[in-house]
A = this chain, B = another copy of it.
Amino acid sequence: MKKIEAIIKQVKLEEIKDALVMAGIQGMTISEVQGFGRQKGHVEVYRGSEVEALFVPKIKIELVVPDSLVEKVVQTILEKAYTGTVGDGKIFIIPVEEAIRIRTKEKGEKAI
C-alpha cells in the first residue's frame, strides 16, 4: 500500500475527485493547505499598503491505495491537475505499512 499525497490547485479539486472515483478509488481525504514553490505568494494591496501573502492556498489530497492502483491514480491526477502554469502542484508517494477500517476492523488492502 502507498499513500499518495498530491498538492493541487483549489479549482481543480472537483474534476480530480470525479476522475479518481471513475478510476476506481473508494475513499480519499482532503485538507486546505498553503504552499509555495516556483509559484511565489502574491502581493495584496489594501488601501495602497502592500501585504505580501507568503503562501498560496492549495488543496492537499491524501489517498491510500493498493500498490496495483498507484500508477493509475498518479496518471489520473497528472492529467486532471494539469494547467501548464506554475503552481500546478506535486505528487508524493509514501509507503504505508498497514491500514485498518475502524468500523469492521478489516486490515490491509481490504480496508482502503
**Per-residue contact bits, chain A 26-47, to B (CB 8 Å; 1 contact, 0 not):** 1111111111111000000000
Give the number of copies in the complex.
3
Given contacts A14-B54, A78-B105, contact A91 B95 (CB under 8 A): no
Minimum CB–CB distance for A32 against chain B, Å: 7
| Across-interface contacts of A29 in B (CB, < 8 A) | 7, 33-35, 58, 60
Contacts A32-B31, A38-B27, A102-B81; A96 near B93 (Cβ below 8 A): yes
Closest chain B residue to A27, Cβ basis: B37
Bitwise interface map of A from 92 to 112 toward B, beta carbon under 8 Å scored 1, else 0: 111111111111010000011
Interface residues of A (CB under 8 A from B): 2-3, 6-8, 14, 17, 26-38, 54-55, 58, 60, 62, 64, 74, 77-78, 81-86, 88-103, 105, 111-112
